[in-house]
Amino acid sequence: MLFLSSLSFFALGVALVLFGTNQAELARDLALDLEQSGFLGASLALGLGGGVMIGGPLYDRLPRKQLFVVSAALTGVALLAAAPDASYGRIVCVVLLAGICCGIYETIVNAVIAERFSGGATRAMAFVHASATAGAAVGPLLMRLNPLGKGWPAAFHGLGYLHLGIAVVGLFSAFPAAHSGQVTRPAARVGWRSGGLAALGCVAFAYVGVENGLTVFAVPWAQSRGAEAGVGQAGISALWLGLLCGRLLLAAQRPSAHAAPQLLDAGGVLAGVIVGVASQFDGVPLPWATLLTGIVLGPVFPLMMSLTAQRFPHALGTTMGLVAGAGAAGGFCVPWLAGVVADTASVRVTIGGLGVLGLAIGAAAWMLRPTRASASVA
């Protein structure tokens, strides 16, 4: 199961940089302005949000194996529907459907890992999420070496075939059975006031917003500095390489539940400072800025999901779906609004706003410290 989880998250990581890597070509072929580019890049996150919101309750109620296989297969079918002569609306629909299905299998993997490795969920979660960052880090290179050819249609199709392969692997993999009492607890009993769930949702919203915002706007950021698109693509790879390093460092450690909120707090603040400074001073090399940002943000998502599992063991699928859904909402809203800001103001202002959002991660994580989080019970 660990192999399948890592493979599926590797594919998810490639999907996360699919638009950012091909942004310049898609904008040229579809005649997109920055607002439209931002919306298209955010559509994957919108689909992910819908997928994780429905994936959580489905995980608590339906057979996990069948749910995983169907969602992975539908992701592949959706991506294969992309065509060179497709309209903007069709590509948005392709990305939305792929995002929904990715969100479902993402939720399944997160919950299965939390169940199977309950005693060491943080380390296992960090390892699996490192696979996603590895996929995102090497995704731009894989798209250049794609045996199906170059260009964004070949990139979509290659990722589609990979997901079909993952569905086949899922057919021959063993999934843990649902606990007898797991499906009897209705999701309505878990609210945003429960166990710091609202704070976890805010961390997720801000974190994914920064991550997706930098991925989608790395190329326009580089071009606003007078650099080529390749510098922005290098910045995307550097960001995800940094995230990979940060998650591998987390996997090598075993932070306590007491230390986890402090790590979230520090990561958000440091990321906000790095992005904010780089947005105002062009002398800071873009790939180095995104690399450092990735390193300090790397532990955030696996720590966040591990904290969710620790605080809500009775409703893993539902609560992880809610938190991941909040993250997907940030991944959709932030790039879309960033595109609006870039069109009306400048890309520099957009990137500076992402730095402020990084500081918001730290502020939300502060609310998770034991002295406050212990007061709320689901």
Dump pLDDT digits (tens) for 9-59: 999 999 988 988 888 889 889 888 888 888 888 888 889 888 877 887 788
The residue among 140, 149, 152, 168 whose CA lies nearest residue 72 is 168
What's the domain range around 146? Answer: 2-175+190-373
Query: Measured on CA atoms in the order 220, 162, 87, 92, is the torsion positive or negative?
Result: negative
Report yes or no on 216 lying in a domain.
yes
Neighbouring C-alpha atoms within 13 Å toward the C-beta of 139: 36
Report yes or no on 185 lying in a domain.
no
- Measured CA to CA, the distance from residue 107 to residue 53 in angstroms comes to 9
Q: Are 109 and 128 in contact (CB under 8 A)?
A: yes
Tell me the CATH number at 276: 1.20.1250.20
pLDDT, tens digit, 9 for 90 and up, residues 91-147 = 999 999 999 999 899 888 888 887 777 655 667 777 787 888 889 889 888 988 888
Report yes or no on 234 lying in a domain.
yes
Task: Look up residue 312 and give its two tokens.
Answer: 């809500």
Supply the pTM of this predicted model.
0.77
Neighbouring C-alpha atoms within 13 Å toward the C-beta of 149: 7
- Measured CA to CA, the distance from residue 18 to residue 23 in angstroms comes to 8
**Residue carrying structure tokens 């950012």:** 20
Number of domains comprising the chain: 1
Task: Look up residue 262 and give its two tokens.
Answer: 């402090």
Q: 91: how many CB neighbours lie within 10 A of its CB? A: 23
Neighbouring C-alpha atoms within 13 Å toward the C-beta of 242: 23
Report yes or no on 180 lying in a domain.
no
